[in-house]
């Protein structure tokens, strides 16, 4: 199998972009298990694949000990020294087994082992790639939409993944070939393969989009302090500046709204309120209730307050179905009771 096997392995490595050592390691382990199972070997054996020489070897591994209690797995230091003086106590001796064990291994079993090894290597690489992107925004291309449940299958450049209906912005529609941004929420290594949870409703998506769009956030001048979101409708994001000469709100909005408009477009027209963060709760809560104008904020508990607004600002401060007040409360972490003068 040697020449054909290694030629096929080279082609697969080039096609998939998976490091050869990943695949070889898993195929070696699979062949060892298959050999033990089919030959009844109980000793510690290893399979060595050598792509350079296009060679496959089976070796017996024995631990070097002072006194041998299990001849199948151990060799005395004296016997090891007789083979080579470089061996030391606690090391191992590998001896090639001149056997037809590999030949006896059925073609079907060998094929299954190799396929399984390749799958495991591919799965490992996919998991590793997604793990590095956890809680990050990635670009994806829509491949197809499942008409039965509304789930969207996308190509992330690493693999195909599913954007579940429940993680889509309410009301948004997709077309095949469309390029979208998705937030990598979670990565699980399941028996059936890696499960990647993507989202377009997570507050982290908005946070990462601002980080991508605003240079002052990228260089650390402006810091995002919080995000509260009701996907598809409205988001509130609080920011502060580490440089007194930089307006954090203006930096996020951009000249004539150039920066924030790109984010709103990506989110399908979702409204975004950018508010200035303050260490003073009264100022922070007042800003969080924008676009309403607040007359005063009275703290009446550790995490609660009473907000006073003019009568004509009451409905604006509360928002449709209480949304403005609800998002402000989530953003600041305070229970907000809004009253008129």
Residues 46 and 64: their CA atoms lie apart, in Å, by: 17
Contact of 198 with 154, CB cutoff 8 Å:
yes
Burial class (CB in 10 A: 0-12, 13-18, 19+), 184: buried
Report which of residues 341 and 17 the model is more confident about.
341
Q: How many CB atoms lie within 10 A of CB 179?
A: 9
- Work out the average pLDDT over 151-155: 95
Write out pLDDT tens, residues 185-226: 988 877 676 788 999 999 999 999 999 999 999 999 999 999
Among 89-98, 220-229, 303-312, the range scoring the smallest mean pLDDT is 89-98
Q: In 3-state terms, the chain is what percent helix, strand and coil (to 5)?
A: 40, 30, 30
Q: β-pairing, 160-163 with 179-190?
A: unpaired
CATH code at 67? 3.30.1480.10
Task: Tell whether the model's pLDDT for residue 331 goes beyond 70.
Answer: yes
Tell me: pLDDT of 232 over 80: yes
CB atoms within 10 A of CB 266: 19
Q: Report the C-alpha gap between 259 and 269 in whole angstroms.
A: 14
Between helices 2-16 and 20-39, what is the axis angle to 10°?
Answer: 140
Same domain, yes or no: 7 and 120: yes
Residues 268 and 284 in one domain: no
Q: Which of the four pLDDT bands, split at 50, 70 and 90, describes residue 337? A: very high
pLDDT at 101: 53
272 and 285 co-located in one domain: no
Give me the domain span that covers residue 67: 2-124
Residue in the structure block whose two tokens are 């003019």: 310
**Number of domains forming the structure of the chain:** 4
Per-residue pLDDT, 137: 95
Burial 236-247 (b: 16+ CB within 10 A, else e): bbbbebeeeeee
Signed CA dihedral, 14, 15, 18, 20: sign only: negative
Residue 39 inside a domain? The answer is yes
Q: CA angle, 330 as apex, 336 and 312 as ends, to 5°? A: 45
6 part of a folded domain: yes
Residues present in the chain in total: 341
Q: Does residue 319 or residue 114 have the better pLDDT?
A: 319
Same domain? For 115 and 227 the reply is: no
Res 96: pLDDT? 81
From residue 39, how far is each of 90, 96, 98, 102, 107 by CA, in Å?
Answer: 28, 16, 14, 10, 14
Q: Is residue 312 part of a domain?
A: yes
């Amino acid at each position: 199998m040697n020449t054909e096997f290694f030629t096929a392995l080279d082609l697969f490595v080039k096609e998939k972009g998976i490091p050869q050592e990943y695949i070889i390691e898993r195929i070696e382990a699979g062949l060892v298990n298959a050999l033990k199972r089919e030959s009844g070997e109980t000793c510690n054996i290893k399979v060595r694949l050598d792509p350079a020489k296009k060679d496959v070897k089976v070796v017996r591994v024995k631990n070097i000990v002072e006194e041998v209690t299990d001849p199948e797995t151990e060799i005395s230091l004296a016997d090891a020294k007789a083979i080579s003086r470089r061996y030391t106590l606690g090391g191992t001796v590998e001896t090639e087994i001149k056997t037809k064990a590999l030949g006896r291994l059925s073609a079907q079993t060998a094929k299954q082992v190799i396929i399984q090894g390749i799958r495991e290597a591919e799965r490992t690489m996919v998991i590793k790639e997604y793990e590095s992107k956890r809680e990050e925004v990635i670009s994806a291309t829509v491949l197809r939409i499942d008409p039965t449940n509304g789930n969207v299958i996308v190509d992330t450049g690493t693999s195909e993944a599913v954007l579940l209906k429940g993680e889509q912005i309410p009301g948004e529609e997709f077309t095949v070939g469309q390029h979208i941004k998705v937030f990598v929420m979670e990565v699980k290594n399941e028996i059936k393969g890696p499960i990647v949870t993507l989202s377009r409703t997570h507050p982290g998506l908005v946070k990462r989009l601002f980080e991508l769009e605003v240079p002052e956030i990228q260089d650390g001048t402006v810091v995002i302090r919080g995000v509260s979101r009701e996907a598809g409708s409205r988001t509130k994001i609080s920011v502060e500046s580490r440089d007194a000469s930089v307006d954090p709100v203006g930096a996020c909005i951009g000249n004539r709204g150039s920066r924030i408009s790109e984010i709103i477009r990506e989110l399908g027209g979702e409204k975004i309120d950018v508010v200035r963060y303050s260490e003073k709760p009264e100022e922070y809560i007042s800003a969080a209730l924008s676009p309403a104008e607040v007359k005063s904020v009275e703290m009446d508990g550790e995490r609660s307050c009473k907000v006073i607004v003019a009568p004509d600002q009451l409905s604006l401060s509360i928002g449709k179905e209480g949304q403005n007040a609800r998002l402000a409360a989530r953003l600041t972490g305070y229970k907000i009771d809004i009253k008129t003068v």
